[in-house]
Amino acid sequence: MKIQAPIHISGITPYLPGKPMEELERELGIKDSIKLASNENPLGPSPKAMAAVQRELEKANRYPEGGGYYLTQKLSRKLHISPESIVLGNGSDDVIGMLTKAFLVPGDEAIMPSPSFLMYEIMVQVAGAISIRVPLSSFSIDLTAMAAKVTPKTRMIFLTHPNNPTGSIITEEDFCSFVRKIPEGIIIVLDEAYIEFVRDASSLDSLPYLKKDQRIVVLRTFSKAYGLAGLRVGYGVMDPDISSLLHRVRQPFNVNSLAQSAATAALDDIEFLEKTLALVHDGLDTIYAALEKMGIPYLPSQANFLMIRVGDADRVYKNLLQEGVIVRSMTSYGFPDYIRLTIGLETENKRFIKALEKVL
């Protein structure tokens, strides 16, 4: 007899990450490609993080520190939050999984923007719960529409700030209004993977809410601004009552020792972070100017990527591949006219502009 999984598991659409450069080069027979598709840090990892990894390798025969003591303590001092409020994860999506395991049961509902990070929907479905997807409004999260979707079955709400793939933010004023509409007992998850890149002064400052609203959970990561995507380390900040429940479902040793050491050291590398932010902000401004000169519409972004309207996104994506430039088509996100570009090094940004001019 064929082994069968429950329908809520067999019905999951797997998350498909962008292909590595090496794989695409083999498939297309091209060389010297540049990858501007996965919102990674083009500078690589922090030098202090790399040095910490080298030192930690000598102890790779030992299990990692289970609770991530040193990283948790450093985050506590940086964020002015108690250590008991911090939960480390194998990437912030690991913390998303802990939240859905701890708080959702079959039949519960979780509200999320659409499109956004696919792992919200996957983790909710793994728990047997129901995803309520709310379309964006003018490429931004529609908080009014999301609040209107709350029912007695609602247990969790996901908000992405800044949003991926559109790069839009949630303002302080809009969030205050939204929170007042949400009944007690519903967890509000603010996914802030790109928060370091925000330049808009009206942007929501989420951390103060943690001290006055037990429902708020903030997710952050070392994958983007800190350049540690390959080591998979993120964290959640929340009320200690919530964190204590997450630790009950957290896998032991879920963040490896190399990742813990790298992230701890990266927090001290202020120079690297400032260099990263300057590179991304200068790159965005350069790309904006070039697109305006070419008459190509785009969405201003508060992250390290932007969406560009090119017509047939799949065609442009494939033609850019032939030029050795890897971007992301937004067709699967419901935006068949757009590609998403990650800001790269200055030379990579110029190469993209030149390639885009050619394929258009």
Local mean pLDDT, 10-residue blocks, the chain (360 residues): 69 65 73 90 95 93 91 96 96 96 96 94 94 97 98 98 96 96 96 97 93 94 96 97 95 94 97 98 98 97 98 96 93 95 98 96
- pLDDT at residue 81, rounded to an integer: 94
Q: How far apart are CA 166 and CA 136, in angstroms?
A: 10
Structure tokens at 135: 């379309």
- pLDDT at residue 14, rounded to an integer: 67
Alpha helices in the chain (DSSP H): 7-10, 21-28, 47-57, 69-79, 92-103, 118-126, 143-148, 172-181, 207-210, 240-249, 257-266, 270-294, 313-322, 346-359
Compute CA distances 266 → 42, 271, 333, whole Å. 16, 10, 32
Contact of 46 with 266, CB cutoff 8 Å: yes
Compute CA distances 347 → 146, 241, 342, 343, 344, whole Å. 41, 48, 13, 11, 8
Compute CA distances 101 → 183, 198, 216, 246, whole Å. 21, 31, 17, 8
Q: How far apart are CA 36 and CA 34, in angstroms?
A: 6
- pLDDT at residue 211, rounded to an integer: 86
Q: What are the structural domains of the chain? A: 7-45+270-359 (3.90.1150.10), 47-266 (3.40.640.10)
Query: What length does the chain have?
Result: 360
Query: Which strands sit side by side in the sheet containing 328-329, from one edge to the other?
Result: 298-299, 305-309, 338-342, 328-329
Contact of 307 with 39, CB cutoff 8 Å: no
- pLDDT at residue 32, rounded to an integer: 82
- pLDDT at residue 23, rounded to an integer: 73
Our CA angle for 44, 166, 200, nearest 5°, is 80
CB atoms within 10 A of CB 239: 18
Structure tokens at 32: 């010297």
- pLDDT at residue 126, rounded to an integer: 93
Structure tokens at 68: 């991530």
- pLDDT at residue 163, rounded to an integer: 96
